[in-house]
Structure 1
């Protein structure tokens, strides 16, 4: 297996020239030059609504087709079931409202206390509007591992919404086991892959729906939902009368942002080029993400060890399987003050609950949360050193 060349990777991110050590990737990664170029190229090219008559129409159509295929390669999905939207939040609201049309009193929906609110509130609100019951799956605050879902499942369960990785703690639930339990019912499984997709190989075969955000994996700000075309055919969203009723277009409202889709394809090609090998893009993506996972986990383990050695620091994530994401508190310092002190030393590690409000409250951290340090492909040893030194400077 080839080595992961972090120096070569860093050279592709113009933003790093500003000199900050970026641990803010969970909120949105930095952007490689190739993605910016793809967006700019599209913006200055002749482009129109999709069609096959003029070069401008064909260019728009090709961009959409290519982006669907790129996302399918990244997620192990069917390109005919890839839906683009403004954000994961917007797409989840749209699907929750469409699905809830078939729910009623006596039906149940399961959400977790480990999730970002974008995979909680849309389902809670849709269930309440339909008169359905919401059931909560908790996690152990000590281990940050998700509880067993089996006691909550029944023949009344319509949908289970769960994260592939906690954006606050990095915890990666055992989705294979959870999906197997859900499959023993007729419930649908909706997975929030926003935080996981940037850090590990994905095969969405275990999920009915998989939602993610390209701007978390080096692309532009937009959202993606993947499902089987056959499943999407059974769902009827509210839409404009003259708009297409075809899948997946009937879930995409208004003209798609072609420049953002071009950037999404470029981001996926960038990931495939992170040292991966294979005969096709899917194989190169899986190979690259395996290399990336090793690089990030190695640095995460060192950072975790060094932060744990500082008496004033409390680390909150203890799950066996995690993304390279650490949540920590510093005794005697409010989370916002910790981030401000780090920022003053050129280290970008923000604080808060990061919309995982149920998670932060369940941990006893309240709505202010704690400080989060997320690693990325461009994180190097110097970044880790700078973060640790900045924390040591704060407490000494």
Structure 2
């Protein structure tokens, strides 16, 4: 069972007196994670010979190499994959850019890329640039501008045999509306050999990710919104699928023939444009362990503990989100984006939303509202035109932007009530 008081005690940083409701933008770092970073930066240059022998450390490697391998295992546990399928990088935008630029065969003239207007720029821009470079046509899935959802029925018309890539987010980062990824995957794989690329960043802090159940070919995510380091990860369904990409790989000897596993490893390494500090990667396992330990009664493997801990935490946070929506709507002068009167609260369930809520105060810029919140000790994210393609479509930017509340395990009912009181003082 999720214990909110215990979870709050895992974040030493909360003692500074601020109320943090901006987990989607700059999540608070649990003490377990910050300690792991400190240890990893100190130990990364040390030789690993004779240390962690149970891990099978190879001769000549450093502890930093161990941290890289451990990070791959942690990411694999988080998404339900294998370590050899994991690519690490500075963030998901850089990894997607790296992937898109080595796909000339899949993005050539005559091929199509299907994107969504409900996605963040990080999941749109790399594909638009690559399609423009190689000649592919970009087709757009439109969002329901009333609820902020992404209707999946439209993909039956958007996807055809010439579709090479479909990129979607598993959930909108600012509204929390969840996409039916599996339905899109079924439509794509029934009509073409295209890849489904899923941005899982917004759901990873709240739900267990099952890459196979989604039918995804590639999954990307950032660790900062999970309370982790500034690190991104990309997971491919099978390293063999990278064989059709135009990768610049390290060459073997003239007459040598690499085994398939070594070749797959080199292909993954070719996508890692620029090494990530082992000190940061040393905190990735601690981040996943933190999520897996939110329910202290959870037992078993890390993957099994995630499956127990995350649903309980999400149920608790969805309750806070419903309380927030009710409080804001009760003020009368606040517009909760995606809300439809009282129906929004009843539809804010675990089946179709994660605990993210965005609102605006008509007549006031979001920057002003955000500043008033800061004056009263509340930290929330101010979302502008450059941050959300969906809000651009909704006309939110023309109304001065929006304030996004992204809940984390350390948040409480008091935090929500404090924000509502502050907003009530300015409407």
Query: Which residue of 2 is the match for residue 112 of structure 1?
Result: 116
Q: CA contact under 8 A between 1:168 and 1:356: conserved in structure 2?
A: no
CA-to-partner distance for each residue in 1:201-221, whole Å, 9 max, x for gaps? 111112100000111111100
Alignment of 1:346-385 (within 5 A): 346-353=377-384, 355-366=386-397, 368-385=400-417
**44-53 or 228-237: which moved more?**
44-53
CA shift, 1:237, in A, is 2.8
Query: Which residue of 1 is the match for residue 15 of structure 2?
Result: 17
CA-to-partner distance for each residue in 1:267-309, whole Å, 9 max, x for gaps? 1111111115232110101111111111110110111111111
Matched, 1:123 2:155: no
Q: CA contact under 8 A between 1:52 and 1:61: conserved in structure 2?
A: no
Matched, 1:52 2:58: yes
Q: CA contact under 8 A between 1:19 and 1:346: conserved in structure 2?
A: yes
Matched, 1:218 2:227: yes
Classify the secondary structure of the residue corresponding to 2:139.
Answer: strand
Query: Which residue of 1 is the match for residue 278 of structure 2?
Result: 258
Query: Which residue of 2 is the match for residue 187 of structure 1?
Result: 194
In structure 1, distance between residues paired with 2:305 and 2:21: 26
In structure 2, distance between residues paired with 1:207 and 1:80: 17
After superposition, the Cα gap between the structure-2 partners of 1:181 and 1:393, relative to the gap in structure 1 and judged at 3 Å, is same
Q: 2:245 aligns with which of 219, 226, 235?
A: 235
CA-to-partner distance for each residue in 1:151-176, whole Å, 9 max, x for gaps? 11111111000000111211111112
Q: CA contact under 8 A between 2:40 and 2:279: conserved in structure 1?
A: yes
Instruction: Give unpaired runs (5+ residues) of structure 1.
Output: none
Classify the secondary structure of the residue corresponding to 2:219.
Answer: strand
After superposition, the Cα gap between the structure-2 partners of 1:365 and 1:389, relative to the gap in structure 1 and judged at 3 Å, is same
In structure 2, distance between residues paired with 1:77 and 1:29: 25
CA shift, 1:341, in A, is 0.8
In structure 1, distance between residues paired with 2:47 and 2:334: 54
In structure 2, distance between residues paired with 1:85 and 1:46: 17
Aligned residues: 390
CA shift, 1:247, in A, is 4.2
Alignment of 1:272-291 (within 5 A): 272-275=292-295, 277-291=298-312
After superposition, the Cα gap between the structure-2 partners of 1:94 and 1:212, relative to the gap in structure 1 and judged at 3 Å, is same
In structure 1, distance between residues paired with 2:33 and 2:19: 21
**179-188 or 353-362: which moved more?**
353-362
Matched, 1:69 2:73: yes
In structure 1, distance between residues paired with 2:245 and 2:208: 28
After superposition, the Cα gap between the structure-2 partners of 1:297 and 1:46, relative to the gap in structure 1 and judged at 3 Å, is closer
CA shift, 1:95, in A, is 0.4
- Please give the root-mean-square deviation of Cα atoms over the aligned residues, in Å: 2.0
In structure 1, distance between residues paired with 2:75 and 2:381: 29
Q: CA contact under 8 A between 1:239 and 1:253: conserved in structure 2?
A: no
Query: Which residue of 2 is the match for residue 83 of structure 1?
Result: 87
- TM-score norm. by structure 1 comes to 0.93
Q: 2:141 aligns with which of 130, 137, 140?
A: 137
In structure 1, distance between residues paired with 2:44 and 2:186: 48
Q: CA contact under 8 A between 2:116 and 2:168: conserved in structure 1?
A: yes
Q: CA contact under 8 A between 1:308 and 1:314: conserved in structure 2?
A: yes
CA shift, 1:241, in A, is 6.2
In structure 1, distance between residues paired with 2:248 and 2:292: 36
CA-to-partner distance for each residue in 1:16-62, whole Å, 9 max, x for gaps? 111111111111211011111111111112526998224xx242222
In structure 1, distance between residues paired with 2:386 and 2:28: 20
CA shift, 1:232, in A, is 3.0
CA-to-partner distance for each residue in 1:319-348, whole Å, 9 max, x for gaps? 851111111011221111111111111111
Q: 2:5 aligns with which of 7, 32, 38?
A: 7
